[in-house]
Amino acid sequence: MKRKVAFHTLGCKLNFAETSTIARTLPDDRFERVSADSRADIYVINTCTVTDTADRKCRQAVRKFAHRNPDAFIAVVGCYAQMRREEAASIEGVDLVLGTYEKFDLASYIDNLQKRTAPGIHSCETVDTDEFMASWSAGERTRSFLKVQDGCDYHCSYCTVPLARGKSRNPAISEIVAEAEKIVAGGVMEIVLTGVNVGDFGKSTGETLEQLLESLVKVNGLQRLRLSSIEPNLVTDRIIDIVSEGKVLLPHFHIPLQSGNDRVLGLMRRRYRREVFRDRVMKIRERIPDAGLGADVIVGFPGETEEEYADTYSFLESLPLSYLHVFAFSPRPGTPAAEMPGAVSRQEKEKRSRQLIRLSESRRMQFMHNASGQIHNVLFEKRGHDGTVTGLTGNYIRVMTPRVKGLPGSIRQVRLTSLRDDSSMNCELTDKEA
């Protein structure tokens, strides 16, 4: 009898790509994949450890699955399992802990599905590895996350990712193109390039991200290509040009800022100062006026004064951004920032977060207001519960339209009409295939 296995993914797009790959390693004659909302024999939680909130979500997921099926075999895998292996193993209900690389060999660890009195822990040191595990997400015919890079050499003072995933590395462009061709052959319309530090692509092979993008936009049948995130110091003029020149690489940039104050950026060990960020944003806006432009920002970093936070706020307010992702600083064990003096109170971090979230909402609404009346190509994906279908424009505006037969899974030309209360837009079909 087949065992029912459910996967639950926390964290970044890279994790989603890897979860899908791990699932494909399980033999079809022995395992049946089911939804994480189902009662399963095996639950696999692919974890994140960027913040303490991510750690807490892992513990909550274990408790939820153990309550749903007390006899289920529960495996905790990935970054949290790598960095906090003993802590992960101590969660009641956990039977198996697999680190960053061991998770790809899940099938060999779950031959014996008996509940264990002491969880099995398997993780190795990641720092010196050159191994790259190719990954891409499957299951949705509209969009696939394709892993093109792993690890990071930046060692920002607050971040555990280099400890969890090791040094920066990547496969050859030819290998990535071959994977992209397989994905497109399966009917996928949009590929999102993912990694820990995608802009650092090429260190392992002597190639560049620009060369990768130039190769991928030529893949026969690929209709849309999107960058997930790229560091400001790695956004080159050539990358901006590639986006502006064609219709395949989408006009959407997500660029981590983290702080708009240079002293705080220095404490964070970021590899740029704020004028580099400003220069890149303004260059993109000049070349691609309608581009979606998002940024990450951390508030309450140790030692960040009220004046320095105000500096960040005014800097962000001065830029033509479309949205922000705001994070309150969360000290991670083993990082230099966790030991820095000048801790900012929880109340102050929450206040600063609220202010920047309001700024983000204002910028998002303005960006959508400016888009009213524009014609865009939209990849329609999901059916809503209210008789609508949702999709994304190339510049990352979520749209809704009344359900039409055959619309999900297609790219259609639409006119954006009006703003909705849920940070999306209404649209009307122009009755043209994109």
pLDDT digits (tens, 9 = 90+) for 302-355: 999 999 999 999 999 999 999 999 999 999 999 999 999 999 999 999 999 999
pLDDT, tens only, 86-121: 999 999 999 999 998 899 999 988 876 665 555 677
CATH of domain 127-250: 3.30.750.210
Where along the chain do its domains lie? 3-122, 127-250, 375-433
**Torsion angle, alpha carbons of 139, 144, 145, 146, to 10:** 110
* Residue 25: band (very low, low, confident or very high) from pLDDT cuts 50, 70, 90: very high
In the chain, % of residues over pLDDT 70: 95
Pairwise pLDDT comparison (403 vs 281), residue with the higher score: 281
Token couple for 67:
């309550």
Using the predicted structure, report yes or no on whether residue 123 has a pLDDT greater than 80: no
Domain 375-433: CATH architecture, name and number where available: Beta Barrel (2.40)
| Mean pLDDT of all residues belonging to the chain | 93
Between CA 16 and CA 23 the distance in angstroms is 11
Most confidently predicted of 2-6, 37-41, 104-108, 253-257: 253-257
* Residue 128: band (very low, low, confident or very high) from pLDDT cuts 50, 70, 90: low
- What's residue 432's pLDDT? 65
- What's residue 335's pLDDT? 96
- What's residue 37's pLDDT? 92
- What's residue 271's pLDDT? 97
Q: Are 304 and 344 in contact (CB under 8 A)?
A: yes
pLDDT, tens only, 357-392: 999 999 999 999 999 999 999 999 877 777 889 999
- What's residue 116's pLDDT? 59
Between CA 15 and CA 76 the distance in angstroms is 13
Measured CA distances, 64 to 67, 98, 199 (Å): 5, 20, 37
Alpha-carbon radius of gyration of the chain? 22
Beta strands in 1-50 (DSSP E): 3-9, 31-34, 42-47
- What's residue 386's pLDDT? 77
Using the predicted structure, report yes or no on whether residue 14 has a pLDDT greater than 90: yes
In the chain, % of residues over pLDDT 90: 80
- What's residue 113's pLDDT? 63
Report the topology of domain 3-122: Rossmann fold (3.40.50)
Token couple for 274:
């704020």
Through-space distance between the first and last CA atoms of the chain, rounded to whole angstroms: 46
The closest of 396, 151, 156 to 259, measured between CA atoms, is 156
Pairwise pLDDT comparison (144 vs 421), residue with the higher score: 144
- What's residue 118's pLDDT? 59
pLDDT, tens only, 164-217: 899 999 999 999 999 999 999 999 999 999 999 999 999 999 999 999 999 999
- What's residue 205's pLDDT? 96
- What's residue 249's pLDDT? 98
The closest of 121, 114, 113 to 91, measured between CA atoms, is 121
Token couple for 81:
């399992």
279: left (phi over 0), alpha (psi -120 to 50) or beta: alpha
- What's residue 252's pLDDT? 98
Using the predicted structure, report yes or no on whether residue 237 has a pLDDT greater than 90: yes
Between CA 215 and CA 173 the distance in angstroms is 8
